[in-house]
Amino acid sequence: MTTVFISADIEGISGVVHNDHAGPGQGEEYGRARRLMTRQVNAAVSGALEGGARLVIVNDSHGGMRNILIEELDPGARLITGSPKPLSMMQGVEGCDLAFFLGYHTMAGTPGVLGHTYSSRTVHELRISGQPAGETLVNAGLAGYYGVPVVLVTGDSGVAAEAAAILHGVRTVAVKEAVGRYAAVCLPLKEADALIREAARDAVRDALGPAGRPEPYRPPSPARFELRFMNTAQADAASMVPGSERLGPLVVAFTDEDYVTAFQAARVMMTVAGSVDSY
């Protein structure tokens, strides 16, 4: 039985361009974005099932991870919702066959709609074993750790290019093109849905065909997560995590032979850094 895992974010959804769309408490704009997110997740679920998947697991991966409207979700999917979760945006990937990243965005410091790396409040830059990394690379490493290839990434044109540069053979769907951080040329919803559904179908169909599944991305070992924070107080707090290494006024690193351990330590550092009052 082929199981597809979908990690679903919101910033890379067609029509989403501003913090008002991405944050709970923002009223109708956030409510609209939730419906758009659920709609594009459904397009990916439908395509995966058409391509031959027997089960689709959807992990809500944005913010507090309670965004997708389960009452509107395709009944062919199982939803993982809420946080915190041990694997964060990738909770549920273990044991799956293929992974989709839906609604993703560019890494911190690069052009794109609402680009950031896990925490827009604290993380100025993340490097993994020296390589600049956004959520696409971080999460591909988690998928690869469990032997799961990422076969589809959707979002703006910036993250599509980012994914294509690091994931061999990945399909990408750009549902919008950034004009700036808070503006984009967006595809009509029906067109975005159709492109996502077709790409999801073809990605699963190809993986089940004669060529078989593509090779998963292999994360580095040892894995070194190097975080450059927004200010020194955040770095001060992050450096109190046992096993961390202070590299400079703003930079704290954590290294481990095990990728998941290093990832989880980095997430703790972000969380601790985020607890510091900013001025």
Q: Label residues 244-262 b or e (16+ Cβ within 10 Å = b).
A: beeeeebbbbbbbeebbeb
Cα–Cα distance measured from residue 58 to residue 41, given in angstroms and rounded to the nearest whole number:
8
Residue ranges in the chain assigned as alpha helix (H)? 19-22, 28-51, 135-145, 157-166, 189-207, 232-238, 259-274
Please list the pLDDT of the chain residue by residue as tens digits (279 residues): 899 999 999 999 999 999 999 887 667 899 999 999 999 999 999 999 999 999 999 999 999 999 999 999 999 999 999 999 999 999 999 999 999 999 999 999 999 999 999 999 999 999 999 999 999 999 999 999 999 999 999 999 999 999 999 999 999 999 999 999 999 999 999 999 999 999 999 999 999 999 888 999 999 999 999 999 999 999 999 999 999 999 999 999 999 999 999 999 999 999 999 999 766
Tell me, yes or no, if 116 is annotated catalytic.
yes
Q: What is the pTM of this model?
A: 0.96
Closest CA to 243 of 229, 228, 223: 223
Check 21, 62, 116, 124 and give the catalytic one: 116
User: How many Cα neighbours within 13 Å face the side chain of 198?
Assistant: 9
**Which of residues 175, 207, 239 is at a domain's end?**
207
Same domain, 108 and 69: yes
Same domain, 16 and 48: yes
Asked, for residue 212, whether it belongs to a domain, the answer is: no
Domain count, the chain: 2
